[in-house]
Amino acid sequence: MLNAATSSALTFSSTPNFYRSPSSLSIVLPNPKSIISSYARSSVLAVMEKAITRGHLTVADSEGVHHFGTRSKGSNDVYLKVLSSDFWMRVLFSQDLGFSEAYMMGDVEVDSLKAVMDLWLDNESGMDNLTSAVSRVTSAISGLSNAFLGQTRSKARLNAIASYDQSNELFKAFLSQEMMYSCALWTEAEGGVRGDLISGPTPGDLEAAQLRKIRYVLTAAKVKPGDRILEFGSGWGGMAIEAARTFGCEVDTLTLSKEQKALAEERIKAAGLQDVIRVHLMDYREIPPSFEKAFDAFVSIEMLEHVGSKHYHDYFKLVDFALKSSNATAVVSASTFPESRYSGYQPEDFMRKYMWPNSCLPSATALITAANTGSEARFTLEGVENHAAHYPRTLREWGRRLDANVRQDLIVKDYPSLKDKAEFDAFRRKWQYLFAYAGAGFAKGYITCHMLTFTRPNDCPATCD
């Protein structure tokens, strides 16, 4: 949860700003914070002067207005109003993480978060000049810590608590009826991936696109009535319910979130499917011996981001352990980095600090390699798809529902500190920032969203001769 004490990039102790000399001559000395703030301001403005080569940025604060870049037809034009000098220090010392904290804490106002994200990514190479020696060291340390310690079994449970053991009412407020917290799939039935921007959102669009995604995954998994499915990452039961209700399957699904398990089981019971769906509060590394070669299909939708690069091999080794030796299919999807950006050592940023602690985005190649080694070549890669173009609209839909449905009185029982309006405003801004930040990343190709399908060797394709 956000508060000024925990989210500040820097904290300065209070020091007297004057010294009384023996001769009674008063010498006024500058406040240390103001010195650093002034240095941060001049440093950030100097970098922006050189960095902004695409689009135009206007920055206004108590000392004046500055313009960077060039206005041109169709180019990005951003207006940024600095309300607190803390903004400059946050950005200088923590770059994009610092900007996110400044936005959440109300140190800065922007006319469009999306425009800010687009401008930052369009001028990313120049913005790298903001990186200080201090931030390079802290990034290296946090990257190593995340890689080696971030996804241990004990840490995995703590990560789930921070990421998903939040208010179910909050997630109900912006997710679709299926409560899928992952990328939807849009078609011309909803106007495509930009339909909401062209003709406006229509009630039920998100529900239709999320149901299409669920059925698309289950169809790729080649499931049929009577099949047994293993799922890593239950969410709130959306995939399992559809697999049992429409496809006639039996499902074992794993989660580390007590809140998700409770609501998933409630939804499963309401659907009358409690006899064919079992929700396990279990780390995937703890699946029982009885699961060996017991499943016809495996699915996992956007859970791999919580596995960590050091554990991909073991992850697929366990998938191989659980799937039958023939006529079995595995379908996994994840938000991913393009190969050029991927590293197993991912330092703390907005996502990993405030949304999904210790998460690590894989690359498609890293997962394919791990599937091959983890299964000892007992998987055949059948399909690779990139659904990144479908994510920005999904995030826009979530953002609209968040703005429309998340009220202070709705979630204050789960977050007592949000009785304070400033805390509630920071909480809302955190989620607004998430949707804009991720949306720009997918739209600009900074991050991708891959779905991979694996079959067993010598499993026959559809009749083709």
Please list, residue by residue across 428-465, b when 16 or more beta carbons sit within 10 angstroms of its beta carbon and e when fewer do: bbbbbbbbbbbbbbbbbebbbbbbbbbbbeeeeeeeee
Structural contact between residues 74 and 98, judged by C-beta atoms closer than 8 angstroms: no
Closest by CA position to 158, among listed 296, 306, 280 = 306
Partners of 66 in the β-ladder: 59
| Predicted pLDDT at 457 | 92
H helices of 151-309, in order, are 153-163, 168-174, 195-198, 205-220, 238-245, 258-270
| Predicted pLDDT at 94 | 84
| Predicted pLDDT at 354 | 86
Distances in whole angstroms, Cα of residue 367 to Cα of each of 55, 224, 290, 386: 36, 26, 26, 14
Closest by CA position to 355, among listed 181, 143, 139 = 181
Closest by CA position to 398, among listed 215, 216, 201, 236 = 201
| Predicted pLDDT at 75 | 83
In what order do the strands lie in the sheet containing 64-69? 64-69, 56-61, 77-82, 108-110
| Predicted pLDDT at 28 | 57
Tokens representing residue 147 in the block: 């890689």
Structural contact between residues 392 and 442, judged by C-beta atoms closer than 8 angstroms: yes
SS3 409: helix
| Predicted pLDDT at 36 | 86
Closest by CA position to 213, among listed 252, 183, 242, 181 = 183
Structural contact between residues 451 and 383, judged by C-beta atoms closer than 8 angstroms: yes
What is the reported pTM? 0.84
Structural contact between residues 436 and 403, judged by C-beta atoms closer than 8 angstroms: no
Structural contact between residues 465 and 404, judged by C-beta atoms closer than 8 angstroms: no
| Predicted pLDDT at 266 | 97
Rounded to a whole number of angstroms, the distance between the first and last alpha carbons of the chain is 59
On the 0-12 / 13-18 / 19+ scale of CB atoms within 10 A, 218 is buried
Say how far apart CA 94 and CA 9 lie, in whole Å. 7
| Predicted pLDDT at 151 | 55
pLDDT by residue for the chain (465 residues), tens only, comes to 433 333 333 333 333 443 444 444 555 556 777 888 898 899 999 999 999 999 999 999 999 999 999 998 888 899 999 999 999 998 988 888 889 999 999 999 999 999 999 999 999 888 776 654 344 444 444 444 444 444 555 444 444 444 444 678 899 999 999 999 999 999 999 999 999 999 999 999 999 999 999 999 999 999 999 999 999 999 999 999 999 999 999 999 999 999 999 999 999 999 999 999 999 999 999 999 999 999 999 999 999 999 999 999 999 999 999 999 999 999 999 999 999 999 887 777 888 888 888 789 999 999 999 999 999 999 999 999 999 999 999 999 999 999 999 988 888 888 888 888 988 899 899 999 999 999 999 999 999 999 999 999 988 776 677
